[in-house]
Amino acid sequence: MKKKLCMLLALLLVVTTLGACGNGAAPASTASASASGGNPTDKTPIKVAVAGPLTGNYSEYGIGFDAACKIMVDKWNKDGGINGRPIELLSYDEKSSTEEGLAIAQLLCGEDNFYGVVGHFSASMAVGTLYTEERVPLISASSSSAGFTGQGDCCFRLNATISTETMGMLECAKTAGKTKLGVVYLNNDWGRNAYDNLKTLLQEKGNEDWEIVDAEEIAGGDMDYNAVISNLNAAGAETAIMFCYYDSVVPFTIKARTVMPDLNIVCGVNCYNDTFLKVGGKDVEGCMAPSVFAAVSDDPDVKYFVDEYKARTTQVPSSLTAQAYDAMGVLLTAIAENNGELDKEAILKSIQNNDYKGVTGSCSFSENRDATRNFSPMVVSNGQWIYY
Amino acid sequence: MILEVKNINTYYENIHALKDVSLEVNEGEIVALIGSNGAGKTTTLSTIIGIKKPKSGEIFFMGKNITQTSTHEIVKMGIGLSPEGRLVFPDLTVEENLRVGAYLRKGAEIDKGYEYVYSLFPRLYERKNQASGTLSGGEQQMLAIGRALMNRPKLLMLDEPSLGLAPNLVIMIFKLIKKIRDMGVTILLIEQNANMSLHIADRGYVLETGCVKLADTAANLRNNEAVKKAYLGG
Amino acid sequence: MFVEQLINGLAIGTIYALVAVGYSLVFGILRLVNFTHSSVYTLGAFMVYVGVEYLHLNIFLAILFSLVTTGFAGVMIDKMGLEPLRKKGASKISAMITTIGLSYIIINCLNIAFGSQIIRFPDLFNYGTFKLLGATIAWQQVIIGAVALILLVALSIFINRTRIGLAMRAVQQEPSAAAINGINVNMIISLTFFLGAASAAIAGTLIASYNQYLRSSMGDIVGLKAFAAAVLGGIGSLPGSVLGGLIIGVSESMAVYKLGGSYIDMVAFSLLFLVLLIRPYGILGRKGSTKV
């Protein structure tokens, strides 16, 4: 019986791995490696990758990254690629799993003619060292953990650090005039870090503008939020600061509307997406979030991206998706900048020193490879995110 | 002839449990099947009632071929079985057990069934609201027989009804079996207690390692030297 | 505050109970832990969604549609996946692994058809809130608790007071004796799967309506907790499942109240562990007739 079980497990493993490969767009035919990139007759594709959760609880994010990067790569290919060489986008499903993400990183590091990755979601904190060892640039569109860029000098972050984002959230609460905070945070690294960070921020500010009246650590996902809401209600919270993903924020908000109709709900930038609006419906009206991206903007670059994205996915791009779009833009610009000299160190240097202007604003990086982001308070009104 | 078994062969995986077994039961008879442990007595009953399907051979009940009929259909046609080890439903009360026995009956028939069984076994009436798992062995045996009678079978098969009972109870059970037959139910009886069963039976079959070795009237079997030696204690 | 949390716990607890009963029913009759149950629960909620969104049925017809299709799916799980194994005399562990596999197949099919993201689900009973002993209580909670309770009572009457229910109990206790009394055992097993699946479908629908959304992973944690509830109460025992569900529901909300929300998933299993140390057969389980 044990033998049978083992075989079954082995079979499962094989199936999952095959599944992962099937989702990738890696063609075996381009294996003929050519190290010299300067030859203008060379038509070997330049490979870049996007990795994110295409299935599982966080698939919303990965599907967005994937579509955004495809739009950017298609745009470049339409303009003739890089030095006449086509760009090939490898797309991998991280399946909302750290292990899967790590496996993908290992696969990618073995690719020829491969120059960088946009993304990772669940595995962001696990893959950085590996990419750095292999000198592969990794630009995250979503990570906000303090330690992400500390994994190595190949890890760049186009997302705001947790402090910047938290400040943006606090500003939202202040703008709405509801400063008694009930903090709801996920019981993972990110959620706990965010909460600790908030406490530190408030101490620095001398606790003047805001007051934390309650803090609730949650398991997230499909739990019953009523028990948490009862606690917030009893503590007299005016604003709920949500350090959790939209799949917790939406159910929380729906429940909160019944028991605490006046609660101001401020979520992170990860809630700036279409699914949040669609699933939340009337219940998420009035929810606030800080964002670096506004799909309602008149900027032509933003319009191109939003229209293209809508045409392909019938959805409005999220803030993180827009960052993934810019991240791919930064990566491709850096590869192109070196006159076809496909030297990894040179590309890394170009990324570090970029002056790229994307749909989320300036994408320049600080010395420790964090982007400086400018937040505006946004609010849900009539089913879309608008400036508050 | 109410039951006719023709050359059945039944297997448990690779074990050939019944080898060309044939037997007949006439209406109103008590027929005894005797044999030692593992001779195939219980398998014969299981095959008749359809729990085991024979690989070959045929079984006729009141002229109908029931070889491939499912158990619940066979029960519906009028064969009842009081199984080896009684198999009462331990968490059901006595009355609920009887109610299961009358599963295929409706309304007034069920009440009549209770009356019939309680008149045969007044003891069960006294215990009717008791969980049957708490009954004594003898009472459980009465319940198993009573349960099989609830469906008013034409043929009642009894598998070791005296097993594990005190001698006075054994006598009582055998008296009851006769009484049931006198009320018009044909009986096919399995017993290790060959002596007793051949006393109340009209005819008997001796099974040995899955084969019918002897078939005769009960009186003749009682006087058969080989039977005496093997089953009647010399 | 205490009252509020108690009501929160009882509301979710009755749902656990309704799911736990399904585990118990099938376990009682086949001595098999049916791991497809959590996916059937999810399927039930999705079938209501299909009824409303694609077949444009009104909500009651959609629930009826879900009961029938999900119940039938439960029967098919047994007929196609488990009955052939029983006929071949396969071991219990093979049957259990089969149910785990089938569960993945069902969830994968739902993923392919509907994606893995959150889908909005109609709110069937949003009638606002009311005050009781100073606590704010949502009508929603009272209603889902009541619906689940009524169903549990109905199920219990069905099993304890009807002819078919008697046959189910008979098959549970002595399948071979049930057959020789004229009970069609395979039919009773199918019926049990139907009842288990249909009650899971209702539980799934209630939760989806309570949360106002559904997704393919919604059954994962509820399924495990309901299984814990069934074992805690004594698997195979109907009152045990109900008691187990309520205990887990209330202790979860009390844990949130006293310890914080991240303890919520730990409570069920810690309780299970403790209770099984003292009573290996669960609170109302009995030695012999009901062992895991």
For chain A, the farthest-separated pair of C-alpha atoms sits apart, in whole angstroms, at 71
User: What residues make up the domain containing B70?
Assistant: 1-78+188-234
How many CB atoms neighbour CB A33 within 10 A? 9
Q: What is the mean pLDDT of residues A312-322?
A: 89
Report the mean per-residue pLDDT for chain C: 89
Strand order in B211-217's β-sheet? B79-82, B155-159, B186-191, B30-34, B203-208, B211-217
Q: Would you state the structure tokens that stand for residue A162, as one six-digit string?
A: 């947790």
Question: According to the model, what pLDDT value does residue A221 have?
Answer: 74
Which pLDDT tens digit goes with each residue over A257-282?
888 889 999 998 888 888 888 888 88
Assigned domain for A33 exists: no
Closest CA to B11 of B69, B48, B54, B73: B54
Cβ pair B89:C177 closer than 8 A: yes
Q: What is the pLDDT of residue A206?
A: 67
For C54-63, the CB contacts below 8 A with 24+ separation are C59/C122, C59/C124, C63/C202, C63/C205
State residue C256's pLDDT score. 83
The residue that leads in pLDDT, C77 or A3, is C77
| Residues on C contacting A at a C-beta cutoff of 8 Å | 1, 4-5, 8-9, 11-12, 91, 93-94, 97, 111, 115-120, 126, 128-129, 135-136, 138, 140-141, 210-213, 215, 217-218, 220-222, 252-253, 256-257, 260-262, 264-265
State whether B91 and C289 contact (CB < 8 Å): yes
CA-based end-to-end distance of chain A: 62
Check residue B218 and give its pLDDT: 94
Are A267 and A154 contained in the same domain?
A: no
* DSSP state at residue C11: H
Number of domains chain B is built from = 1
Sheet of A138-140, strands arranged across: A87-93, A46-52, A114-119, A138-140, A155-157
Rounded to the nearest integer, the mean pLDDT of chain A is: 84
C-alpha torsion sign, points B179, B182, B186, B188: positive
- Contacts of residue A325, defined as CB under 8 A and 6 or more positions apart, other chains included, come to A68, A69, A71, A72, A305, A317, A358, A359
Mean pLDDT of C112-129: 83
Chain A closest-CA separation from residue C270 CA (Å): 16
Answer yes or no: are the C-beta atoms of B156 and B61 closer than 8 Å.
no
Pairwise CB contact (< 8 Å): A259 & C138: yes
> Are A152 and A243 in the same domain?
no
Q: What is the mean pLDDT of residues C251-261?
A: 83
Please, what sign has the CA dihedral across residues B170, B173, B179, B185?
negative
The shortest CB-CB distance from C177 to any of B76, B83, B91 is to B83
Residue A25 confidence class, pLDDT cut points 50, 70, 90: very low
**Residue B185: its pLDDT value, please?**
96
Q: Supply the pLDDT for residue A258.
A: 83
Residue A255 pairs with which residues in a beta bridge?
A: none
Q: Which of A12-16, A364-368, A382-386, C190-194 has the lowest mean pLDDT?
A: A12-16
Question: Given a cut of 50, is residue A29 above it in pLDDT?
Answer: no
Closest listed residue to residue A288, CA positions, set A320, A247, A241: A241
Query: Does residue A22 form part of some domain?
Result: no
pLDDT at residue B139, rounded to an integer: 93
Residue A340 pLDDT class (50, 70, 90 cuts): low
User: What is the pLDDT, as a whole number, of residue C290?
Assistant: 41
Do residues A318 and A287 both lie within one domain? no
Q: Which of C14, C221, C256 to mutate to test the interface with A (most CBs of A within 10 A)?
A: C256
Tell me what pLDDT residue A350 has. 93
Whether the Cβ atoms of residue A345 and residue A135 lie closer than 8 Å to each other: yes
Q: Among the three residues A267, A291, A315, which one is the final residue of a domain in this structure? A: A291
Q: Would you say residue A16 has pLDDT above 60?
A: no
Report the CATH number at residue B21: 3.40.50.300
CATH number of the structural domain spanning residue A324: 3.40.50.2300
- Give the 3-state secondary structure of residue C35: coil
Q: Is the pLDDT of residue A150 over 60?
A: yes
Within a domain: A67: yes
- Quote the pLDDT of residue C287: 62
pLDDT exceeds cutoff 90 at C238: no
Q: Is residue B1 part of a domain?
A: yes
Q: Which residue has the higher pLDDT, C265 or A239?
A: A239
Beta bridge partners of A87: A46
Measure the CA–CA gap between C64 and C210, rounded to whole angstroms. Answer: 18
In a domain, B15, yes or no: yes
Taking the C-alpha atoms of residue C210 and residue A342, their distance in angstroms, rounded to an integer, is: 56
d(CA A64, CA C122): 26
C11/A230 Cβ within 8 A = no
pLDDT surpassing 90 at residue C66: yes
Tell me which chain C residues have a C-beta less than 8 angstroms from the C-beta of B75. Answer: 180-182
Q: Which residues pair with A170 in a beta bridge?
A: none
Q: What is the pLDDT of residue A41?
A: 67
Please give the Cα distance from B56 to B35 (Å, whole number): 22
CB contact (8 A) between residue B90 and residue C179: no
Residue B66 pLDDT? 96
Query: Among B221, B180, B162, B186, which residue's Cα sits nearest to residue B24?
Result: B186
Burial bucket for residue B100 (CB in 10 Å: 0-12, 13-18, 19+): buried
Range of the domain at A346: 44-160+302-362
**Same-domain check for residues A171 and A272:** yes
Q: Can you tell me the distance from the alpha carbon of A125 to that of A316, in angstroms, rounded to the nearest whole number?
A: 28
Q: Chains A/B: 3 or more C-beta pairs closer than 8 A?
A: no
Residue of C nearest to A4 (CA): C94
Q: What is the CA radius of gyration of chain A?
A: 22
Strand B79-82 and strand B155-159: pairing?
A: parallel
Is A205 a residue whose pLDDT tops 50? Answer: yes
Q: Is residue B146 part of a domain?
A: no
User: Is pLDDT of C180 > 50?
Assistant: yes
Dihedral, CA of residue A302, residue A305, residue A307 and residue A308, to nearest 10? 170
* pLDDT tens per residue across span B151-183: 999 999 999 998 888 888 899 899 999 999 999
Structure confidence at residue A17 (pLDDT): 42
Residues C72-95, mean pLDDT to the nearest whole number: 91
* Confidence at residue A35, expressed as pLDDT on a 0 to 100 scale: 43
Nearest 10 degrees: CA dihedral of B33, B36, B42, B43?
-100
Of A8, A56, A184, the CB nearest to C97: A8
Residues of chain C with pLDDT > 90, as a percent, come to: 54
A86 CB-near residues (< 8 Å, 6+ apart)? A43, A45, A46, A77
Three-state SS for chain A is CHHHHHHHHHHHHHHHHHHHHHHCCCCHHHHCCCCCCCCCCCCCCEEEEEEECCCCCCHHHHHHHHHHHHHHHHHHHHCCCECCECEEEEEEECCCCHHHHHHHHHHHHCCCCEEEEEECCCCHHHHHHHHHHCCCCEEECCCCCCCCHHHCCCEEECCCCHHHHHHHHHHHHHHHCCCEEEEEEECCHHHHHHHHHHHHHHHHCCCCCCEEEEEEEECCCCCCCHHHHHHHHHHCCCEEEEECCHHHHHHHHHHHHHHCCCCEEEECHHHCCHHHHHHHHHHHCCCEEEECCCCCCCCHHHHHHHHHHHHHHCCCCCHHHHHHHHHHHHHHHHHHHCCCCCCHHHHHHHHHCCCCEECCEECCECCCCEECCCCEEEEEECCEEEEC
Based on the fold, state whether residues A68 and A188 are members of the same structural domain.
no
pLDDT tens for B3-58 read 999 999 999 988 999 999 999 999 999 999 999 888 999 999 999 999 999 999 99
Which residue matches tokens 């299909």? C50
- Give mean pLDDT, residues C181-190: 93
What integer pLDDT is reported at residue A207 of this predicted model?
A: 65
ipTM of the complex: 0.89
Model confidence band, residue A15 (pLDDT cutoffs 50, 70, 90): very low
Q: Spell out the SS3 assignment of chain B.
A: CCEEEEEEEEEECCEEEEEEEEEEECCCCEEEEECCCCCCHHHHHHHHHCCCCCCEEEEEECCEECCCCCHHHHHHHCEEEECCCCCCCCCCEHHHHHHHHCCCCCHHHHHHHHHHHHHHCHHHHHCCCCEHHHCCHHHHHHHHHHHHHCCCCCEEEEECCCCCCCHHHHHHHHHHHHHHHHCCCEEEEEECCHHHHHHHCCEEEEEECCEEEEEEEHHHHHHCHHHHHHHCCC
Indicate if the pLDDT at residue A30 is higher than 80.
no
Question: Considering its fold, how many domains does chain A have in total?
Answer: 2
| Residue A385 covered by a domain | no
Q: How far apart are CA A39 and CA A34, in angstroms?
A: 10
Of the three residues A264, A291, A318, the one that is the final residue of a domain is A291
Instruction: Give the phi and the psi of residue B83 in degrees, each rounded to 5.
Output: -75, 160
Same domain, residue pair A154 and A273: no
Of A217-226, C144-153, C195-204, the one with minimum mean pLDDT is: A217-226
Q: What is the pLDDT of residue A33?
A: 39
CB contact under 8 A, C221 and A59: no
Q: Give the side-chain half-sphere CA count within 13 A for C229.
A: 33
Does C292 score more than 70 pLDDT?
no
Check CB contact under 8 Å for B51 and C177.
no
Task: Name the band, by pLDDT with cuts 50, 70 and 90, for residue C125.
Answer: confident
Residue B187: per-residue pLDDT: 97
A204 and A147 part of one domain: no
Q: What angle is formed at CA A257 by the lines to CA A254 and CA A260, rounded to 5 degrees?
A: 135
Query: Which residues in chain B have Cβ-Cβ distances shorter than 8 Å to C176?
Result: 51, 83, 87
A223 and A193 in one domain? yes
